């Protein structure tokens, strides 16, 4: 009772009251005087009115609004018809069981929504805004501007994205990533809204207003997920639109044809199926047919299955933007990966220096580090880290970053180029190849070749398990696309067991490769692209399903991708696929179970074999079982281990 809403408790009281009144009326005939049974229908009207008045009102209101054929109309027609044929108890029983089923459906949907609401209860109501004198004021996060300073106490949830100015702590990111391991942060580190501060006091400089924060984008994504329906949901919607009028007309024909035949055809000439029957019997069969035909099981359980699947994925730190993407993922036969940061750690390390004849290792590294000093690319960061000295920005001018090639700049007034072999060819410089696996950064100074630097990016420990897991899940082809050198790409592909790889690609080349893979895939199959979401937006958008990985705090990922993995664990891709396939399996089970049982009982009802009790099971019972099955989609403990 505690878990029921006020509306649900009210319906439960109505059900219990109507059941008690019905039991009392059932016992009355033995106590009534002779002739009193003629007015028994008035007594049955009392429990019927208690339990069914709202169904009758909805049916009338919908008819007046032009929406005739729905479940309220079917129930009203069936139960009023049962009263007309003297089946008073059956009329009340049908309405009672129907309302019980509706209560259960409402509770099941509410439970799913509560589960997702609890999962997404990551937006704090207040933020501790620091004033100029150091005092704190509790304000709405929406009133805090970028650049302001807030204080997050231990146990509080971070209300806004920002950067730590003072303090150190561990952040619980479970609500965003599904992972229980906390993330340590200190001065200079970025913090993401929605995380829980576990230990130390943090002073945080806000970097984004509330409406642009990570938590706002995630909540908006979840709230709008229901708008993008899967093909199965659209099919059920279209099916119900035509199904209900058809079964209503079929029920009408089931009554009218025999009734007219009984009236106009002499008894001696009547066919065998009419012999010994009366028109009220055929009316009763038609009413049973109507009760059986209610499409509740399909209309409720299929969307509930997808809703549960999206909620279950959210518990694992996987955000799905719509049930259509969840359905597509279950049909993915080709998975294409970006390399850097997706399959590899993305933390580049300088592993070798190969200077040309007139340059030393220190000179080579210094020129490369200074030329790359304005770039935020991981390769640039690794060069600066290897140099290990503070960058004097005054030494570097005329910086130009050339996408897919590298950087040109002036260092101490000398023209320096640092990039891949394409940049060398573009500048007309003679360069030396390197057979070692890794990323090669070639450097020229005043047009003279200064040498090259080898930078390695190791595969993530979970990457090989991911590829094996995808193969086990039915993925037929894995492909890796990278702008890296051939040797580095080949080494990673061989180590991870990737089926196919393409190296030295520009962003436009990646799109072209994906276009080719899309054209070559099997009919009905889907292609998923997995990238970091920052520089892969064109490919994420072009693929059937775009999956952004490691997207905690990445606006570009949340915007461009269809499925967002909120942490940096590539194994979540296989988890997302397993959840999608479980969801689709349950959807198909519900569709075939509901259609199979209803079809069988409809035939039995048409031939007069099924009673009103079988009709009630075919409606409420099937819906009850289908909803229980659909709620299994929320159970994802098996995927979180």
Active site residues: 338
Rounded CA-CA distance 406/357 in Å is 23
Say how many residues make up the chain: 641
344: three-class secondary structure by DSSP = strand
Would you tell me how many other CB atoms lie within 10 Å of the CB of residue 463? 23
| Strand duo 202-206 + 477-481: pairing | unpaired
CB within 8 Å of 639: residues ≥ 6 apart = 312, 316, 575, 578, 579
Q: Degrees (nearest 5) of the Cα angle 441, 447, 449?
A: 45
Contact call for residues 552 and 192 (beta carbons, < 8 A) = yes
The structure tokens 């806000």 sit at 206
Q: How many Cβ atoms sit within 10 Å of the Cβ of residue 425?
A: 12
Torsion-angle region of 167 (φ positive above 0: left; ψ -120 to 50: alpha; else: beta): left
Whose tokens are 């590294």? That residue is 365
Tokens of 536: 């892969």
Half-sphere exposure of 301 (CA within 13 A, CB side): 30
* Sign of the dihedral defined by the CA atoms of residues 339, 342, 346, 352, in that order: negative
Across the strands, what pairs with 548? 531, 564
Q: 348: which DSSP letter?
A: -
Angstrom distance (rounded) from CA 171 to CA 157? 9
Pairing of strands 477-481, 332-338: parallel
């Amino acid at each position: 009772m505690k878990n029921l809403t006020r509306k649900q408790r009210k319906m439960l009281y109505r059900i219990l009251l109507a059941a008690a009144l019905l039991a009392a009326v059932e016992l009355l005939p033995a106590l009534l005087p002779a002739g009193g049974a003629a007015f028994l229908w008035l007594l049955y009207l009392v429990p019927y009115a208690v339990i069914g008045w709202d169904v009758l009102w909805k049916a009338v209101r919908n008819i007046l609004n032009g929406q005739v054929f729905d479940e309220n109309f079917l129930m009203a027609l069936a139960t009023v018809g049962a009263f007309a044929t003297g089946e008073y108890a059956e009329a009340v029983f049908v309405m009672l069981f129907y309302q019980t089923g509706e209560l259960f459906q409402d509770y099941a949907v509410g439970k799913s929504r509560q589960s997702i609401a609890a999962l997404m209860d990551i937006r704090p109501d207040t933020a501790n805004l620091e004033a100029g004198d150091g005092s704190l004021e509790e304000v709405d996060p929406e009133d805090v501007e970028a650049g302001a300073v807030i204080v997050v106490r231990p146990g509080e949830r971070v209300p806004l994205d920002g950067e730590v100015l003072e303090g150190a702590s561990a952040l619980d990111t479970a609500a965003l990533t599904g992972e229980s391991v906390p993330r340590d942060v200190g001065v200079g580190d970025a913090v993401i809204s929605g995380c829980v501060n576990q230990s130390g006091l943090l002073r945080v400089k806000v970097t984004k207003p509330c409406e642009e924060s990570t938590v706002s984008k995630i909540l908006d994504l979840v709230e709008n997920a229901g708008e993008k329906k899967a093909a199965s949901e659209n099919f059920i919607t279209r099916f119900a639109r035509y199904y209900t009028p058809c079964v209503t007309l079929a029920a009408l024909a089931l009554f009218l044809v025999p009734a007219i035949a009984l009236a106009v055809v002499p008894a001696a000439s009547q066919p065998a199926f009419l012999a010994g029957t009366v028109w009220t019997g055929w009316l009763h069969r038609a009413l049973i047919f109507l009760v059986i035909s209610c499409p509740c099981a399909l209309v409720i359980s299929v969307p509930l299955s997808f809703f549960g699947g999206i909620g279950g994925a959210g518990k694992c730190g996987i955000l799905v933007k719509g049930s259509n993407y969840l359905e597509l993922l279950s049909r993915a036969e080709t998975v294409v990966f970006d390399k850097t940061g997706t399959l590899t750690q993305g933390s580049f390390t300088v592993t070798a220096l190969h200077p040309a004849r007139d340059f030393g290792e220190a000179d080579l590294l210094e020129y490369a580090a200074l030329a790359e000093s304005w770039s935020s690319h991981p390769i640039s960061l690794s060069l600066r880290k290897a140099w290990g000295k503070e960058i004097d920005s005054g030494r570097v001018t005329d910086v130009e970053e050339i996408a897919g090639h590298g950087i040109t700049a002036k260092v101490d007034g000398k023209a320096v180029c640092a990039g891949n072999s394409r940049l060398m060819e573009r500048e007309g410089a003679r360069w030396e190849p390197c057979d070692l696996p890794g990323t090669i950064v070639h450097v020229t100074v005043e047009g003279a070749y200064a040498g090259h630097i080898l930078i390695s990016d190791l595969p993530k420990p979970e990457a090989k398990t991911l590829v094996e897991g995808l193969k086990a899940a039915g993925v037929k082809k894995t492909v890796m696309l990278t702008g890296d050198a051939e040797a580095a790409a080949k080494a990673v592909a061989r180590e991870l067991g990737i089926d196919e790889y393409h190296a030295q690609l520009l962003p436009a080349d990646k799109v072209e490769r994906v276009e080719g893979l899309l054209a070559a895939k099997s009919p009905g199959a889907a292609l998923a692209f997995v990238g970091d979401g920052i520089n892969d937006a064109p490919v994420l958008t072009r693929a059937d399903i775009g999956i952004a990985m490691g997207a905690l705090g990445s606006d570009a990922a949340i915007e461009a991708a269809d499925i967002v993995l909120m942490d940096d664990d590539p194994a979540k891709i296989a988890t997302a696929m397993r959840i999608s396939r479980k969801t689709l399996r349950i959807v198909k089970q519900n569709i075939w179970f509901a259609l199979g049982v209803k079809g069988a009982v409809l035939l039995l009802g048409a031939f007069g074999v099924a009673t009103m009790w079988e009709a009630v099971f075919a409606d409420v019972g099937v819906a009850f079982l289908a909803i229980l099955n659909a709620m299994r989609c929320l159970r994802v403990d098996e995927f979180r281990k």
